[in-house]
A and B are shown apart, each in its own frame.
Chain A
Amino acid sequence: MNHTILAISLSSIANSMHQSLQALLGDGFALTATEMLIQGLSLIVFLVILCFYLGWMERRVAAFMQIRLGPNRVGPQGTLQIIADTIKLLLKEGLTPNSSDKFLFNLAPMIMVITSFLVVAPLAFSKDFQLWDINIGILYVSAVSSISVIGILMAGWSSNNKYSLLGAMRSGAQLVSYELSIGLSLISIVILTGSLQMSDIINSQSNGWWLFKGHIPVIISFVIFIIASTAEINRAPFDLAEAEQELTAGFHTEYSGMKFAMFLLSEYINLFIASAIAATIFLGGWMPLHLGNFEAFNHVMDFIPGFVWFMGKTMFIIFIIMWFRWTFPRLRVDQLLNLEWKYLLPISMINTIFITIIAIYGWHF
């Protein structure tokens, strides 16, 4: 849609790169391999820079909410602070405790990061700009993201430390329970769209985002999705797995240096993914805001590139999740399970029924 207006869009860059590489290497294995390499590298660079930015944003947001200033010394407004921290982490000794299970101990952070990177694959960053438009996109996301619990359990178990093990076990209970609510909230949009494919879900929102089109039930499932994914990515108020005060960082107590940085990286990538998925399925991904028949307004909105829309919506949800973190106290383990099994799960089940009725009768706009 932006092609005519904006000469340069992300998909056109990708296409021209593809064509020039094709001319250079011909159709064959070399082409595929080079393109995969470029895609992988650019994804890693993008995500790492994004995590730098998110780390800085988190600290600034936290500081402002607690009437503090936060990091503001290194670079303008403290933007380079996180680079200084990374250099510090790189220079630190990556300690492996003597009595730990060394293989699993070193494997766990890798699993966490790999899982995080895997889930990014079906995300649509802009129109026609997507690594892998698999036809079971939503299912893939929810299936792969639950691998991360294995990484957490592995880290907690292999550390051979009671705090780590407790943190890992808590995290296991948490992830297993909150996955249900996430699944049901995702299903509600799948019911309305009739497809698991990311591009279909986004295209179905060209005349309005599901959050606005689907009446109150979709708003409820949006709220449940945000709550449950906050729990899924182990962030406060659901950060029992880390719980600095009781468990001294929980499953990654024993990690230091670069291995610790990998846990941090995967935490922020997961934050980005959870927000990006919420933005994609409830807020229309890269789809600009369209209001019914206001042609002029819709046209102005089309001028803004899809990538900006996508990142804007994602950042908005990330901000809300950060807002949660710096406002709410941590739940106890029993409260955590109460919230899921007594409140979120029954509500989202009933909500799914309502959404099914809406979808059958076509009551949505």
Chain B
Amino acid sequence: MFIKEYFSTIYRSIKSLLTGMKLTGYYFTHLNKIKTEEYPDNRATLKMADRFRGEVVMPHNENNEHRCTGCQACEIACPNGTIKIITKQEILADGKKKKRIDSFIYHHDLCTLCNLCIVACPSDAIVMAQTFEHAVYDKKLLKKILNNPDSKIMEGVE
């Protein structure tokens, strides 16, 4: 019994080692499978992975309108205080007062790109952009105001 076990151990280990060597040998002979991106040489053709997150942005349409209602759900959702929303009161045409955003302040240097704000937003006003190369010499440049100047809220978003 012992002899049988002894030789079956040898057989199994050699077989599993050869299986491993077959895989690495396959990779060695199939160089077209190489995954390395030769950044920055391929900067022009670089294709980012779908789930890559670069920074939070607020899309605007052609009329300089965004979808942010100023509800501050993203500010509450953010675990490290990256977002600061300053609101203002706007008097509508019919005389009613309405809360609008004055500025959506986003501290890129604090953001962990965790996506929680995007998930929390009820009106899909912010999205993750796939931008990269964010390094700057001055920290102030990382404090960004996401709503364009003079932008308005889109019609029909409440």
Contact = CB atoms under 8 A, between A and B. Distances in A.
B20 interface: yes
B89 interface: no
A64 B31 contact: yes
Interface string A321-336: 0011011100000000
A353 interface: no
A327 B33 contact: no
Interface residues of A, number: 13
Interface residues on B, range: 10 to 19
B10 A61 contact: no
B21 A64 contact: no
A69 B27 contact: no
A343 B31 CA distance: 36
Max count, chain A CB within 10 A of own CB: residue among B21, B28, B34: B28
B104 to A, nearest CB: 41
Interface string A37-73: 0000000000000000000000001001111110000
Contacts, number: 34
Contact of B27 (A65, A324, A328, A343): A65
Nearest to A325: B24
A69 B34 contact: yes
B17 A328 contact: yes
Contacts of B150: none
A181 to B, nearest CB: 15
B25 interface: yes
14 contacts: A64-B27, A64-B28, A65-B27, A65-B28, A66-B27, A67-B33, A67-B34, A67-B35, A68-B36, A69-B36, A323-B24, A323-B25, A327-B17, A328-B20
Interface of B: 10, 17, 20-21, 23-25, 27-28, 31, 33-36, 38
